[in-house]
Amino acid sequence: MQQQQTTNLKESFNELKRRKVIRSLIGYALFAWVVLQIVDFSFEPLHLPDWMATVVVIAVIIGFPIVAILSWAFDWTPDGIKRTEASSGLKGWQTSLIVGIMLLPVVALSMFFYRTYSGVIETEIAQPEQLSATPDIQLNSTAETPAGPSSKSIAILPLADFDSTDLTQQMGDGLAEEILNLLAQNNDYEVAARTSSFAFRDTTEDIKTIGQQLGVYWVLEGSVRGSGNLLRITVQLIDAGSGFHAWSETYDREVTNILETQDEIAALISSILSGVLNGLSVDQAERYALSDYEAFQNFNDANELLAQRTPETLEAAVKLYESVIGLHPSYAPAYAGLSDALILESMYANRSITDAASQAQQYLELALGLDGKLGQAWASLGLISARSGLNDSAESAYRKSIKLNPDYPWVYGWFANLLARQGRIGEQQDILAEAQRLAPDDPFIRMIIANNHLARGETEQGFELLNSALEQSPDSIILLNAYTQWAIEYGRIQQAQDQVRLGKVLEPDNPQINMAEAHLALQLDQSEQAMEMVTAGYTRAPNNIRIAGDYAAMVYLAGQTPEIYQSLVDQYQLLNPIERGEAFDVTRLRIYAALLAWADGDAERAAALVHLSLPQLATLDGTPEAIDILSQAAWLCIQAGDTENVTQLLEISELLLKQINDNNWDTPGLAYSKAALQAVNGQADIAINSLQQAVEKGWSQQWVMRNDPRLSNLRGDQRFTVLME
């Protein structure tokens, strides 16, 4: 049996040799090896798809049994391919078995490869077909086109290195990576991963292709070139869909510390992008962390000095902000702080509003250029606008600031001051509540809250708050001045004297202290001493238009040296049109200059100044001070026989009085202003009643009542005499 099996195998092997099956398989194996080597070395350089290599390998494997079957069935002869004749020594079942064995691998391998690779190959083949077919589908189909990349997606490419030095390469890569890290902290924006975006280093692909491959709407690219330690860095923000530039900028830097320079420029670029791109925000703490101690300390010291609001501290704050900018030219908060300091100098020191607003505007534009979403900068813009009389613009800027940074306390204080100057003290309370929550111990905030109480006649609450604030901040000049002014208005003369004495110890040359001291001296009938003090205050701050207005008012109401009107007209160019919307302070000074001119017999100059002020008088807000200015202007028009303008001014005054009553004003100064207006309007009995109310509320400035020409038709009334006593 065993011998028979051996014989059968030998016969089968001999038949395979006769039919050249074994030789064909050896030759096919050599051919397959060559094919696979060609596939291995050529498909990748030729950018052929992976599925083609898979198909070739499968075909080679399946080819082995196919070659065996073909070799068994056919023979290559000199006369061509012929069917191989059957062997007479091989039984039929043996032939069937051999053929079956050769067919079995073909079937098995075909099924295996079909199940394993058919889906992969079909998918990979279909993808390029689908891509190439997409334009036809879009042109010939009404179906919706697939949505493109989100408009809140961006890729940061490594900056092109034009000089191939260690410094330029480190700067290009490091800067791109730092910007990417800053933007990636924003949860609302999709930022392409570093490995994906950096794969396009030194690429020749256009921005549209890069945007498509990365799936982003925006691409930030740029370049670095240098000479020694001097670098020029250029960046562009590009709309990947259109290829158009949305923003570009160039930065020149001398690099002494590459990491510091990278951080500085990355923070600056990220800040600008947050203003350019909708929905992108960058954490301010990251953007505005000063990297060296000197700048950090100077900036904090400047902020503390700014809060004190004296001529000396404001001047020092300006210098410190400038030093921070010198160390960090891209530090936006320093520009905003410098803008604030300049404007506050026009309020508390010797700087004109025109000069302050012009310079402050320039610095503020730099701040907003560096960061369009810096809440402090918008608050500064509001302060400039308010100081320039542009109330609507100021309110808009304050509201924008609060929206961007609701935790910045001073914006609430400045906004509250704006509302007070517009007579809207009722609206102040919500704003002040938020200011107090954020900065409960800030003297400036506490002063405004006290002002609000006192303006509404809540004297005890107001003075109690001022007292407690002064106990906590006894060297605060703004609190001392506020306390003095309110104490004089409410007839608390001893308390006013105490504050003035303390103010002179702290700031003997402060012009506002000088003015308060002069006011108090007039209260005590010390006219000569008052004129010395008021002149000293004006001399120390001749460019401050608010102090100039106080000077003119006190000189006029005290009945002293009216000839000074000419110097005021020349100094402040009062006969020129108003610039920058300086409505109230310039108008107030013009009217008192006109009164001084009238007192000096220059009726023509007085009429010119009043006439020039009429457009601004028609737009004043409802405050007691506005009523006082309007009634002074009306009195001058009466003296000039200008009945038409008298009627108009009185009508405006009545409208403002209604606003004032609606806003719950209730002060001695308001009652006196009403009395003066009513006296000008010929309502003597009503005016006497209003004067009585003023005295009952604490008004005790008899020197004003004695010299005020608006009350001339009341002085023969016995009731007026009693009030004077």
Q: What is the pLDDT of residue 136?
A: 37
Residue 123, helix vs strand vs coil: helix
Distance CA 157, CA 177 (A): 9
The average pLDDT across 186-204 equals 77
Lowest mean per-residue pLDDT among 109-118, 379-388, 499-508, 635-644: 109-118
pLDDT at residue 577 greater than cutoff 90: no
Lowest mean per-residue pLDDT among 104-108, 577-581, 583-587: 577-581
Q: At what angle do helices 545-557 and 583-599 cross, to 10 degrees?
A: 30
Half-sphere exposure of 470 (CA within 13 A, CB side): 20
pLDDT at residue 39 greater than cutoff 60: yes
146: which residues sit within 8 A by CB, 6+ positions away?
Answer: none
Distance CA 267, CA 244 (A): 24
DSSP string, 524-560: TT-HHHHHHHHHHHHHH-TT-HHHHHHHHHHHHHTT-
241 band by pLDDT with thresholds 50, 70 and 90: confident
9 band by pLDDT with thresholds 50, 70 and 90: low
Lowest mean per-residue pLDDT among 84-93, 153-162, 402-411, 450-459: 84-93
Looking at per-residue confidence, does 413 or 79 come out higher? 413
The 3-state secondary structure of 566-599, one letter per residue: HHHHHHCCCCCCCCCCCHHHHHHHHHHHHHHHHH
The 3-state secondary structure of 196-249, one letter per residue: HHHHHCCCCCCHHHHHHHHCCCEEEEEEEEEECCEEEEEEEEEECCCCCEEEEE
Label the pairing between strands 218-227 and 153-156.
parallel
107 band by pLDDT with thresholds 50, 70 and 90: low
258: which residues sit within 8 A by CB, 6+ positions away?
Answer: 167, 170, 171, 174
pTM summary value:
0.61
78 band by pLDDT with thresholds 50, 70 and 90: low
Chain segment 87-102, per-residue pLDDT in tens = 555 556 666 666 666 6
pLDDT averaged over the chain? 82
For residue 157, the 8-state DSSP code is P
CA 240 to chain centre: 26
Chain segment 661-710, per-residue pLDDT in tens = 998 999 999 999 999 999 999 999 999 999 999 999 999 998 999 899 99
The average pLDDT across 138-160 equals 65
Of the chain, the end-to-end C-alpha distance in Å amounts to 154
The average pLDDT across 481-503 equals 93
Residue 701: count other Cβ atoms within 10 Å of its Cβ: 21
Q: What is the pLDDT of residue 410?
A: 87
pLDDT at residue 169 greater than cutoff 50: yes
Q: What is the pLDDT of residue 146?
A: 45
Looking at per-residue confidence, does 502 or 54 come out higher? 502
Domain range summary for the chain, segments of one domain joined by +: 2-126, 153-287
Q: What is the pLDDT of residue 609?
A: 95
For residue 310, the 8-state DSSP code is -
CATH, range 153-287: 3.40.50.10070
Q: What is the pLDDT of residue 143?
A: 38
Q: Which residue, among 505, 572, 506, has the nearest Cα to 538 in the 3D structure?
A: 572
Residue 190, helix vs strand vs coil: strand
Residue type, 24: S
Distance CA 493, CA 723 (A): 18
124 band by pLDDT with thresholds 50, 70 and 90: very low
Q: What is the pLDDT of residue 439?
A: 81
